[in-house]
Amino acid sequence: MAIDPSPTKSGPRSTDKSPSPLASPNLAAQEDRRARVRDVPRSNFQYGHRRQEWQVGADGDLMPVIVPLSKSPGAQGVGRRGEFTPARVWYEDQGMVLIPHDVMGDLDYVAPYLTTRGKMTHRSIFQRPVNGANKTDWVMDGKAYKKFIKLCREKGIIPPPQPQTIKSLLNMTRSQYENLQVPTTEDRSRRDRYEATASRLKKQISVLEAELHLSEEHYGKPTEAVLGSDVHSVLDAALDTKKSKGKGKKSASD
C-alpha cells in the first residue's frame, strides 16, 4: 500500500483506492489504522547546530552537523509543561545555534504522524514514510535537506564555519590524499577504487580551500602565533633601537 508522505493530524493517508472486500461499520476506522505509521512515539524537536561541528560529505560539500533537540517535557532542560525557553538559553550558552521552525515560512520542518498505537511521532519533513516488513521505514530526501541547509546559511541562521575549523578538516583531507597508496598491480577493480577515492579527496580539498577563503573574508585572518626564537629577535632589535636613540641625547650636565 502506498503512503502519502504529506502529514496530517490523523497521520498520512493511504493513496490505495482499492475497496475493502469486507463491508463493515468499522471500515473507516480500519482504513485509518492501516494508514498510520508503524513507529515508536517521538516528541517534537527543534534543530540545532554547534558552531564548530562541520563535516565533509562524500560529494565534497561542507555541511554543518545538525542534531534534533527534544522538546519532551522534563527532558534536557525542557520544563515539565513543555516550556522550551530554559533549554534554549542553556543550548545558546553552550554555543549552539537553534534553527527556528519558521525558517521556510509557513512550512514547519517537523511533521507529526499518528502511529498504529494512537501515539504521535514527530519526523523531519525531509523523511518519507515507506511501509517495511514489520515497521515503517523512513527514506531521506538528501537533495531537499541540502537545500534546507543552504537556505539556513544564506539567511545567516547558520554562520560560516571558523577558519580554524576548516583548516582542521583541510589538513585531515590533504593527509588522506597524500597517504593514498597507488596500486602496484594491474587489478582493474583496485585501480578504479583508487581513482574514485583520489577524485573524491581532490574535490573535497578544492571545496575546503574555497570555504576557507570565504571564512577568512568573513571573520578575518587569525593572528599567527610568534615562535619563541622570533620573540627574542624582535625584543633585541627593539632594545638596540632604544640604545641607539639614547646615545644621541645630551645629558643634563652638558
pLDDT band at residue 175 under the 50/70/90 scheme: very high
Find the range with the poorest average confidence among 25-29, 123-127, 205-209, 238-242.
25-29
Tell me the three cell numbers of residue 24: 463493515
User: So where are the chain's domains?
Assistant: 45-154, 163-219
**Segment among 17-21, 78-82, 130-134 with least mean pLDDT:** 17-21
Please compute the mean of the pLDDT values over residues 41-66 and round it to a whole number: 91
pLDDT-derived band at 9 (thresholds 50, 70, 90) equals very low
Question: Smallest Cα–Cα separation from 73: which of 60, 63, 86, 62?
Answer: 86
Q: What is the pLDDT of residue 90?
A: 85
**Which one is predicted more confidently, 62 or 81?**
62
Categorize the per-residue pLDDT at 251 as very low, low, confident or very high, splitting at 50, 70 and 90: low
State the pLDDT at residue 26: 53
Grid look-up 577558519 returns 163
Q: What is the DSSP letter of 197?
A: H
**pLDDT of residue 181 exceeding 50:** yes
pLDDT at 199 over 70: yes
Determine the angle formed by the axes of helices 188-219 and 163-178, rounding to 10 degrees: 160
69 contact partners, CB below 8 Å, separation of at least 6: 45, 46, 47, 48, 76, 87, 91, 96, 98
Q: What is the mean pLDDT of the chain?
A: 82
pLDDT of residue 161: 94
Percent of the chain beyond pLDDT 70? 79
Position 111: which residue type?
Answer: A
What is the average pLDDT across 53-76?
86
Contact present, 215 and 162 (Cβ < 8 Å):
yes
pLDDT in tens, 122-165: 999 999 999 888 889 999 999 999 999 999 999 999 999 999 99
Report whether pLDDT(227) > 70.
no
